[in-house]
Structure 1
Amino acid sequence: MPSDTYSSSMLQTYSVRTAANTSAYFVPRIKPDMNILDIGCGPGSITLDLAALVPQGTITGIDCSITAIDSAQNLTQKRQVKNASFKVADVLNLPFEDETFDIVCAHQVLIHLPNETPRVGAVEGLKEMRRVCKPGGLVCARECDWRSAVIHPPVPEVLEAMKLVEGLTALKRTSPYGGMARSWAESAGFKAADIEASAAAVYYTSPEEARWWGETMAQRLEQGSSLDKGIKEGLISQDQRDTLPLGWRKWSEQSDALFSMTDVQIVCKK
């Protein structure tokens, strides 16, 4: 279903994503005449970078957020890209025929799909991605694993904010554990021999990076619904509405601030 769940701070965060810093694990496999589907395209920055690699082909970006699609379409006009299109759609019910695309890719999407017992959201998403992929084509996904987070110094309010995310994730019944990606792919119908897995670290270590990330995380808390939901569900107190964002800002000003997390990448041949 279409939604408007992206805050301005989230869109700003997603806008710094490029094909170079998100998709290097499958970019060498792209051919100029391929047709690509980008799942969860957000504001379109990755999608339009990939469009430049398929000058004789096309790329389609989909997202459940109307706001994100509007941003992607505006960016397309600004960059004057002719072979990219965008539409609001749901990864669990893709509006495309079987065997349509040469590559189907997703960045930080599977971890957000809810589990409905006995179905695993990430597996169902990969099944749909596999369905619309051509025989011999590739299904690619890069997903973070929240268990790998390293945060220094351990500012208490920041750790509490991370616990809030974990608590809300449990309530939404999603699986923020990219380390399960190979298992998800096998459950979605890919043969083990046709799944390649790798990993990449995302990190913010310089003072400039730490300040940007800390402020981004603070704004995402303030602009999103996590604090209200956390209070409603008893995960945090009313006082923490102010202290959790301030904690991220406090962390961002520390001279030794460091944040890192591991992303797991899979390339699956159909």
Structure 2
Amino acid sequence: MTTQATKTNTYRMGYSDAIIKFMDARGADTEAFPLLPLLQPTDKLLDLGCGPGSITVGFLPRVAAVTAVDVSGVSIDMTRRRINELEKAGTLSSADAAKIKYLQADILSGLPFESGSFDVVYASQVFVHLTGPGQAAEAMAEVRRILKPGGILATRDAAEALYYPRHLNLWDIWGSKMNRALLGHDAQYVADGRPGGPDMMPKLYREAGFDMNKTKVVSGLPWVFSGREGREWCVNNWTAKMDDASLLDKWTAAGVTREHKQVAKDALAGWLDNDDGYMMVTHCDIIGWK
């Protein structure tokens, strides 16, 4: 029996300055490095969930054409602005800048492309946010539809958040509450039966009909935040999320009170001053072939 996918957008992180700053720090060399050696100069690539374009721009010198797709017009505008600024600064050649097209679209409503339109689809931190019934499976089927025979899908989704030293108990004090408010759950292991989580992603590929003789989980880089500068970056961003008026309804809906936030801020301040403190996020990176 096939579950009917809900069309409701379940992305909960928002587009605050703190979120955008975090997205901006990512690049193709770190986020998509398992895919990069597989790219061909003739490839047509679709970057699904392009965000502010910090990863997207890294594909342009490597392929023939890139289509940047995001459900958010804010993200599309930021990607366009990034490309224009890099071209103006001479960091990106005009020839490479001319390779990109932009599209605001929701994959759950179907993408306006013919079947077999793309050689490669890349999706970073997309499936982990498709938490509604049937959403992840429907998105996977749509991605496979637009891929050419033998085409490649590369996905990257957060798996597990680890806070050290463990005795500070930052997961219970802070991490679980952030996940509950911004991801809709409080499981440290992001998968744990969740549609876009790492224990479900291979199944999504298999059930969508990808070639499981070639499709595999690959070794991707974790996000690591260490040293005073790394911890300070985390604490500043997390504090900004707690104080962001646009996220207030999400914190409230998750049952996170002002008192909870103050306890979390105090714990984070202690972690910031702990020379042994660091934080790591592991990921599920998969390369699949149609």
TM-score (norm 2): 0.81
User: Is 1:252 the equivalent of 2:272?
Assistant: yes
Q: After the TM superposition, which residues 73-152 of structure 1 pair with which residues of structure 2 at under 5 Å, given as runs? A: 73-80=80-87, 81-92=97-108, 93-116=110-133, 119=134, 121-146=135-160, 149-152=161-164
Q: After the TM superposition, which residues 10-21 of structure 1 pair with which residues of structure 2 at under 5 Å, given as runs? A: 10-21=19-30
Q: Alignment length, in residue pairs?
A: 261
2:264 is paired with a residue whose SS is helix
| Counterpart AA for 2:81 | N
1:94-149, Cα deviation, whole Å (9 max, x unpaired): 22221111100101110001222xx2x22222111111111111011011113xx2
| Counterpart AA for 2:251 | G
| Counterpart AA for 1:256 | D
Which has the larger displacement, 75-84 or 210-219? 210-219
Determine if contact 1:137/1:269 at 8 Å carries over to the other structure: yes
| Counterpart AA for 2:165 | P
- Give me the identity figure in percent: 25
Cα distance in 2 for partners of 1:239, 1:189 equals 48
Q: 2:74 matched to which residue of 1?
A: 67
1:159-213, Cα deviation, whole Å (9 max, x unpaired): 3322224434249x96462232211211222232131212333212222222212
Cα distance in 1 for partners of 2:265, 2:141 equals 37
Determine if contact 2:195/2:201 at 8 Å carries over to the other structure: no
1:41-92, Cα deviation, whole Å (9 max, x unpaired): 00001111111112xx110111112211111110010112221122211122
Cα distance in 1 for partners of 2:232, 2:267 equals 12
Cα distance in 1 for partners of 2:106, 2:230 equals 33
Q: 1:180 matched to which residue of 2?
A: 200
| Counterpart AA for 1:109 | V
Cα distance in 2 for partners of 1:162, 1:175 equals 20
User: Is 1:28 the equivalent of 2:45?
Assistant: no
User: Is 1:211 the equivalent of 2:232?
Assistant: yes
Cα distance in 2 for partners of 1:107, 1:241 equals 29
Q: 2:190 matched to which residue of 1?
A: none
Determine if contact 1:218/1:249 at 8 Å carries over to the other structure: no
1:210-237, Cα deviation, whole Å (9 max, x unpaired): 221222222233226555333344x323
Structure 1 residues 76 and 213: CA distance shift in structure 2, 3 A: same
Determine if contact 2:70/2:103 at 8 Å carries over to the other structure: yes
Cα distance in 2 for partners of 1:203, 1:28 equals 23
Which has the larger displacement, 183-192 or 244-253? 244-253
Segments of 5+ residues of structure 1 without an aligned counterpart are none
User: Is 1:163 the equivalent of 2:179?
Assistant: no
Q: 2:251 matched to which residue of 1?
A: 230
- Runs of 4 or more off by more than 4 Å in structure 1? 1-4, 173-176, 224-227
Determine if contact 1:115/1:174 at 8 Å carries over to the other structure: no
Cα distance in 2 for partners of 1:113, 1:220 equals 21
Segments of 5+ residues of structure 2 without an aligned counterpart are 1-7, 88-96, 187-192
Determine if contact 1:7/1:224 at 8 Å carries over to the other structure: no
Determine if contact 1:222/1:245 at 8 Å carries over to the other structure: no
Q: 1:193 matched to which residue of 2?
A: 213
| Counterpart AA for 2:240 | Q
| Counterpart AA for 2:151 | G
Cα distance in 2 for partners of 1:107, 1:113 equals 12
Determine if contact 1:64/1:90 at 8 Å carries over to the other structure: yes
